[in-house]
Amino acid sequence: MFDPVPRSAAAAHPGLAVRFGRVLLAPRSRLALLVALLAAAGTSVLILEPQRLLADGWPPALNGAAAVVVFAVAYGLCTAAFVPRPLLNLAAGALFGSQAGLAGALAGTVIGAGIAFGLGRVLGQDALRPLLRGRVVHAVDGQLSRHGFRSMLAARLFPGVPFWAANYCASVSKMGWFPFLLATAIGSVPNTAAYVVAGSRATAPTSPAFLVAMGFIALTGLAGAIVAWRKRHKLRGTSEG
């Protein structure tokens, strides 16, 4: 019986498929995919303009708990695509009020952090860790790897580093999933609540709740700048030691 495919060619195909699979799964290929995904996400945000929620409001077809759940998922996707969390927190308060808005914003914060951490861990860690050079970079990596929960809790409580940057930096380190998500959930409560309350009281800028929320935001921002400055010098000292 005539064999249309030579045995040598048939035997070569599995090897070619294996090599092709190795190329696709190589660290640099995965890193390129991560860069492409983030670029596509950033472009979609520029096109869709999610900040229009503040002006146009939430679609009337969605209401109640379902609306909060959908908002939380959208919130998480937006933060992974570099949309600033303060904007989303203000929108949560304006759309759903203080309590429901806080629940949606915190859920979205954890979802977004998990998405970014997972993308960075799966697609970027193997390629980026060998590139970690410099004393300060090694000191930061060591701080996140050895004291992950404490470091991430401080980053969330005193926001001095952009949310997305902290997520992707943590994903490249050896920090575990549980301490990362737990520190994010706990540390994000105060600042998120302040923005949500400010958003819910935006129509009454002279109300005590709005003034207290804005004062808290200003104080935590100042505290974050001080903590970041001190941490920077401490890391430099550690790296030089």
| Predicted confidence (pLDDT) at residue 9 exceeds the cutoff of 50 | no
Q: Who contacts 203 (Cβ-Cβ below 8 Å, separation ≥6)? A: none
Contacts of 216 (CB under 8 A, 6+ apart): 190, 191, 194
Instruction: Tell me how far apart the alpha carbons of residues 133 and 236 are, in angstroms, rounded to a whole number.
Output: 14
Average pLDDT over the chain reads 77
Structure confidence at residue 127 (pLDDT): 61
* Domain contains 193: yes
Residue position matching structure tokens 């952009």: 162
pLDDT at 21: 53
Separation between Cα atoms, residue 57 and residue 7, nearest integer Å: 65
- What is the count of structural domains for the chain? 1
CA distance 119 to 166: 13
Residue at 13 is within a domain: no
Confidence of residue 231 (pLDDT cuts 50, 70, 90): low
Q: Which two tokens stand for residue 117?
A: 């951490």
Q: What is the pLDDT of residues 65-87, one digit of tens each?
A: 888 998 999 899 888 888 889 98
pLDDT in tens, 165-213: 888 888 888 888 999 999 999 999 999 999 999 989 888 888 888 889 8
Residue labelled with tokens 């001095």: 160
Residues in the chain: 241
How far, CA to CA in Å, does 104 sit from each of 6, 95, 99, 110, 196? Answer: 61, 10, 9, 10, 10
Q: Is residue 16 part of a domain?
A: no
Whether 184 is in a domain gets the answer yes
Task: Give the pLDDT mean for 126-143.
Answer: 60
* pLDDT tens digits for range 12-55: 455 655 554 555 556 667 667 767 777 777 787 777 676 666 55
Which of 3, 92, 85, 77 has its CA nearest to residue 38? 77
Residue 15 lies in a domain: no
Confirm whether 94 is domain-assigned: yes
What is the torsional sign of CA 79, 83, 86, 90? negative
Q: Which two tokens stand for residue 239?
A: 């790296």
pLDDT at 36: 79
Assess if residue 17 is contained within a domain: no
Range of 73's domain? 26-240
Report the C-alpha dihedral over residues 71, 161, 126, 177, rounded to 10 degrees. -60
- Mean pLDDT of the 204-223 span: 85
